[in-house]
């Protein structure tokens, strides 16, 4: 309180704004668009709110803070207090927008300069993912080219290019197969080089489109160059001078110029492909018309990244500083949804706009979480282990963990307001329950892909190759051990038998005439030894011929039969002819993952759930659990290579003569059991399904920690 007769303290004077600063307006909606302060000395732009823009427009006509507050109320009906003006003064001083003409101001400026030069470690942490390398200063050249290239910006040119595109599409549709066939040419060294050339042409002209359009509207383009995003080179154009344009239409034209150039190139390349002969030029036209254009569109049109799509969305909606403002609203909306604090929104904007900005912010956060995690994994695997671990930790800590930690700190600061809200107390209670649920060992269920089959099952293969002469087997028939299923014949074997018989007859005749032939008499012992060898060979060949009669190894029901079995067909040793199931019980065999095998007891109970919904479930008593992981997935029906649930990859056999095997991607342990009740099960037919095993209880937190610990042990190399 000021006592009667006392004078109020004088209002603090306003610092002088630098004379060269320019205050630029905007043609967007008043509640969404910002003004722009342009610093031509440092080529910097500062987005400011409409309220700040109005205060700065009065700055040069006022001497004190009170003068600004009074003028704002009289001219704009704007009610501001000294706190708001003080915040504005702080912003101007922090960004060097006022004259430095006092000792205190010089001291603050020096401190800011020192703090701006961050250490090399901090710089590397924040810039190793994205580094810009300016190559050229094109502004003067662009200003000379702009008048010459003015016809490219006319509607006539756009109509001609569209006509070329339509004509190209029509001509390509007439030879669509040949057009698609060009794609295969890219999968070669020459194709890769052509694609790289096409990508370089498209991206260079893309950036030239931005630069020429910006120059056409009077913007300065200080640099063009290459930036490295996760060590991947990409061209860039510094078109930040477009911020000074008050017309959203002009800014949109600059934003979309690159995509417009790529679309025009695609139209012209499509038409050119139709007339070019087969060769490198046609493949290059195909690459420009399709793959490079589509990949570029997929990257540049993504509004969740700060590329063309982001700036197009910002200018289309008229919302400047789109991401930063969306993030502020997204945090507010998230806190209101979780805690119901009743805090006023950060900005007074329409409700529908506020809602989609919040959704946009959440989408960007999820996208960044996915991208940064993927980049961290990529960097870890793309570099040697020590550097990979360091970069992985930097990526996870600085770009994922720290933002989450800052938000949690803000929640802790607001804990009293959160706990005072009924909505906040409910959210906290739910969070505590969820955390408790992850710590309580309640999960006893273990799933294992399994196969239910007859206890005794015999697979029938040919012992040796041959063609079918007799096929008496019929699926579903009951056979006894030794019954004929298929009879084969082998011309090569018959020839060997006939040749051996002729040789035996020949040597027998020579022995018979040895009395009259001195030469044969001298070879008597050799002939006798040869005859014995030929007789042994003949018996062996006849035994082989007997093996061409494929008989049932066991008695039972014929549950499976080669569908293509017919007289005259050739069979190899690897061709499965039939599957015979002996009468009796059923067993299950399956695989338990390495993360669950330690929780399974020998006497555990289980239940088999078949994939076939028409088959009944069955109680199973576990019989054996392997303590050594399998080297290959021997139960082929359970391998993912054949449609099963066990993730496996094909691998060539290590020993000659063996075919390909399927190797599990993660550790798998074989488990087998006996079906307690076989009533209702299909006789002799194998069923694929899932074995539900009741194991020792485990919490979700313990499972997650074990998984993390396993990865740490594996990657440590111990």
CA distances from residue 489 to 282, 465, 466, 546, 561 in whole angstroms, order as listed: 56, 8, 5, 10, 19
Is the pLDDT at 185 greater than 70? The verdict is no
pLDDT at site 656: 40
Q: Which of 29-43, 117-131, 278-292, 439-453 has the highest mean pLDDT?
A: 439-453
Alpha-carbon distance of 139 to 23, in angstroms, equals 23
Q: Write out the DSSP string of 547-593.
A: HTEEE-SS-EEEEEE-TT--TT-EE-TT---EEEE-SS-EEEEEEEE
Summarised one tens digit per residue, pLDDT across range 70-103 is: 888 878 777 777 777 787 777 777 777 777 665 5
Q: For 156-170, 324-338, 503-517, which range has the lowest pLDDT when averaged over its residues?
A: 503-517
Secondary element (H or E) of residue 88: helix 82-94
Going by C-alpha positions, the residue among 383, 379, 410, 408 that lies closest to residue 394 is: 379
Alpha-carbon distance of 162 to 3, in angstroms, equals 79
pLDDT at site 717: 58
Is the pLDDT at 369 greater than 90? The verdict is no
For residue 25 the two structure tokens come to 């307006």
CB 698 within 8 A of CB 443: yes
Share of the chain above pLDDT 90, in %: 7
Q: For 66-70, 103-107, 254-258, 443-447, which range has the lowest pLDDT when averaged over its residues?
A: 103-107
Summarised one tens digit per residue, pLDDT across range 292-319 is: 667 666 777 888 888 888 888 888 887 8
- pLDDT level of residue 665 (50, 70, 90 thresholds): confident
pLDDT at site 213: 92
CB 507 within 8 A of CB 531: yes
Alpha-carbon distance of 123 to 120, in angstroms, equals 5
More confident residue, 39 or 198: 198
Per-residue pLDDT, averaged over 204-224, amounts to: 89
Alpha-carbon distance of 673 to 632, in angstroms, equals 20
pLDDT at site 403: 86
Is the pLDDT at 361 greater than 90? The verdict is yes
Summarised one tens digit per residue, pLDDT across range 671-710 is: 888 887 656 565 556 788 888 888 888 888 877 777 777 7
Per-residue pLDDT, averaged over 655-664, amounts to: 59
CA distances from residue 57 to 35, 54, 592 in whole angstroms, order as listed: 11, 5, 73
DSSP strand pairing (44-48 vs 130-136): unpaired
Secondary element (H or E) of residue 700: helix 700-716
Share of the chain above pLDDT 70, in %: 83
Going by C-alpha positions, the residue among 273, 294, 274 that lies closest to residue 284 is: 273
CA distances from residue 318 to 27, 46, 357 in whole angstroms, order as listed: 8, 17, 12
Going by C-alpha positions, the residue among 585, 525, 524, 580 that lies closest to residue 557 is: 580
CB 50 within 8 A of CB 35: yes
pLDDT at site 20: 74
pLDDT at site 4: 47
Alpha-carbon distance of 31 to 27, in angstroms, equals 11
pLDDT at site 357: 92
Mean pLDDT score across all residues of the chain: 79
Where do runs of H (alpha helix) occur along 98-216?
103-116, 120-127, 139-148, 155-174, 176-181, 189-216
For residue 84 the two structure tokens come to 């708001």
Number of C-alpha atoms within 13 angstroms, CB side, residue 291?
22
pLDDT at site 160: 94
Alpha-carbon distance of 504 to 535, in angstroms, equals 7
pLDDT at site 668: 87
Alpha-carbon distance of 470 to 462, in angstroms, equals 14
Per-residue pLDDT, averaged over 104-130, amounts to: 57
Phi-psi region of 184 (alpha: psi -120 to 50; beta: other; left: phi over 0): alpha
Q: Return residue ranges of the chain for CATH 2.40.30.170.
A: 447-455+584-716
Summarised one tens digit per residue, pLDDT across range 488-515 is: 888 888 888 888 888 888 878 877 766 6
pLDDT at site 104: 58
Per-residue pLDDT, averaged over 532-537, amounts to: 86
Q: Is 4 exposed, middle or buried (0-12, 13-18, 19+ CB in 10 A)?
A: exposed
More confident residue, 238 or 395: 238
Q: Which residues of 49-64 are buried (b: 16+ CB within 10 A; e: fewer)?
A: bbebbbbbbbbeebee
For residue 477, give every residue at least 6 positions away whose Cβ sits within 8 Å of its Cβ, in sequence order, or none.
557, 558
CA distances from residue 637 to 43, 449, 451, 589, 651 in whole angstroms, order as listed: 67, 10, 8, 11, 17
Q: For 196-205, 291-300, 479-488, which range has the lowest pLDDT when averaged over its residues?
A: 291-300
CB 52 within 8 A of CB 2: no
How many other CB atoms are there within 10 angstroms of residue 527's CB atom? 18
More confident residue, 481 or 386: 481
CB 240 within 8 A of CB 260: no
Alpha-carbon dihedral sign for residues 178, 184, 186, 191: negative
For residue 626, give every residue at least 6 positions away whose Cβ sits within 8 Å of its Cβ, in sequence order, or none.
669, 670, 671
- pLDDT level of residue 584 (50, 70, 90 thresholds): low
Alpha-carbon distance of 145 to 369, in angstroms, equals 43
| Strands across the sheet containing 457-460 | 457-460, 578-581, 556-561, 478-479
Summarised one tens digit per residue, pLDDT across range 538-552 is: 888 888 888 888 888
Summarised one tens digit per residue, pLDDT across range 4-27 is: 444 555 667 777 777 777 777 655
Q: Which residues of 443-480 are buried (b: 16+ CB within 10 A; e: fewer)?
A: eeebebbbbbbbeebbebebeebbebeebebeeeeebe
Alpha-carbon distance of 320 to 304, in angstroms, equals 15
447-455+584-716 CATH choice from 2.40.30.170, 2.20.28.10, 3.30.1300.10, 2.60.40.420: 2.40.30.170
More confident residue, 660 or 364: 364
């Amino acid at each position: 309180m000021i006592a009667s007769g006392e004078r109020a303290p004088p209002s603090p004077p306003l610092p002088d704004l630098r004379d060269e600063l320019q205050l630029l307006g905007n043609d967007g909606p008043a509640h969404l668009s910002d003004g722009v302060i342009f610093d031509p000395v440092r080529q910097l732009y500062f987005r400011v709110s409409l309220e700040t823009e109005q205060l700065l427009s009065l700055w040069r006509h006022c001497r004190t803070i009170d003068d600004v507050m009074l003028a704002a109320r009289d001219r704009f009906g704007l009610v501001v207090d000294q706190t708001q003006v003080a915040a504005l003064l702080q912003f101007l001083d922090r960004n060097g927008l006022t004259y430095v003409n006092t000792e205190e101001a010089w001291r603050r400026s020096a401190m800011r300069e020192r703090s701006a030069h961050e250490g090399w470690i901090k710089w590397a942490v924040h810039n190793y993912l994205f580094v810009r390398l300016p190559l050229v200063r094109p502004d003067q050249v662009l200003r000379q080219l702009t008048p010459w290239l003015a016809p490219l910006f006319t509607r006539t040119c756009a109509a001609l290019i569209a006509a070329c595109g339509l004509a190209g599409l029509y001509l390509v549709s007439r030879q669509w197969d040949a057009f698609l066939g060009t794609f295969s040419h890219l999968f070669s060294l020459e194709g890769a080089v052509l694609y790289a050339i096409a990508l370089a042409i498209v991206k260079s002209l893309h950036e030239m489109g931005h630069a020429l359009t910006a120059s056409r509207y009077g913007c300065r383009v200080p640099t063009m160059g290459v930036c490295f995003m996760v060590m991947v080179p990409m061209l860039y154009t510094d078109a930040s001078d477009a911020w000074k344009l008050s017309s959203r239409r002009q800014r949109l034209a600059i934003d979309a110029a690159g995509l417009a150039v790529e679309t025009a190139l695609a139209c012209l390349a499509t038409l050119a492909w139709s007339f070019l002969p087969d060769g490198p030029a046609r493949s290059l036209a195909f690459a420009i018309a399709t793959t490079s254009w589509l990949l570029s569109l997929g990257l540049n049109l993504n509004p969740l990244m700060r590329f063309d799509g982001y700036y197009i969305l910002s200018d289309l909606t008229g919302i400047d500083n789109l991401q930063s403002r969306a993030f502020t609203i997204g945090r507010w909306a998230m806190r209101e949804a979780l805690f119901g604090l009743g805090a006023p929104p950060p900005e007074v904007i329409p409700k529908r706009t506020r809602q989609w900005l919040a959704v946009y912010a959440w989408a960007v956060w999820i996208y960044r979480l996915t991208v940064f995690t993927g980049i961290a994994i990529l960097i870890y695997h793309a570099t040697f282990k020590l550097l990979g671990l360091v970069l992985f930790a930097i990526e996870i800590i600085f770009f994922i963990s720290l933002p989450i930690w800052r938000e949690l700190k803000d929640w802790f600061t607001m804990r009293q307001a959160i706990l005072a809200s009924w909505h906040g107390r409910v959210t906290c209670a739910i969070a505590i329950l969820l955390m408790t649920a992850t710590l309580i060992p309640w999960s006893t269920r273990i799933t294992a892909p399994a196969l239910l089959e007859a206890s005794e099952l015999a697979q029938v293969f040919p012992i040796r190759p041959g063609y079918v002469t007799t096929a008496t087997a019929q699926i579903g028939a009951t056979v006894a051990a030794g019954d004929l299923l298929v009879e084969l014949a082998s011309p090569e074997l018959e020839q060997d038998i006939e040749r051996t018989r002729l040789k035996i007859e020949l040597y027998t005749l020579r022995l018979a005439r040895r009395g009259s032939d001195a030469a044969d008499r001298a070879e008597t012992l050799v002939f006798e030894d040869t005859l014995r060898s030929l007789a042994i060979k003949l018996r062996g060949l006849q035994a082989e011929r007997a093996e061409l009669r494929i008989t049932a190894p066991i008695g039972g029901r014929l549950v499976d039969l080669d569908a293509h079995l017919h007289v005259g067909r050739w069979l190899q040793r690897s061709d499965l002819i039939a599957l015979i199931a002996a009468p009796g019980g059923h067993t299950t065999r399956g695989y338990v993952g390495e993360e669950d095998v330690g929780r399974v007891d020998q006497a555990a109970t289980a239940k088999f759930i078949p994939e076939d919904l028409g088959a009944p479930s069955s109680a199973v008593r576990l019989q054996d659990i392997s303590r050594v992981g399998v080297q290959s997935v021997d139960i082929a029906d359970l391998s993912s290579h054949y449609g099963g649930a066990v993730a496996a990859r094909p691998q060539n056999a290590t020993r000659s003569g063996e075919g390909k095997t399927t190797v599990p991607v993660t550790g798998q342990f074989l488990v087998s059991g006996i079906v307690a009740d076989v009533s209702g099960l299909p006789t002799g037919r194998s069923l694929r399904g899932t074995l539900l095993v009741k194991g020792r209880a485990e919490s979700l937190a313990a499972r997650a920690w074990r998984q993390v610990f396993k990865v740490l042990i594996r990657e440590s190399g111990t």
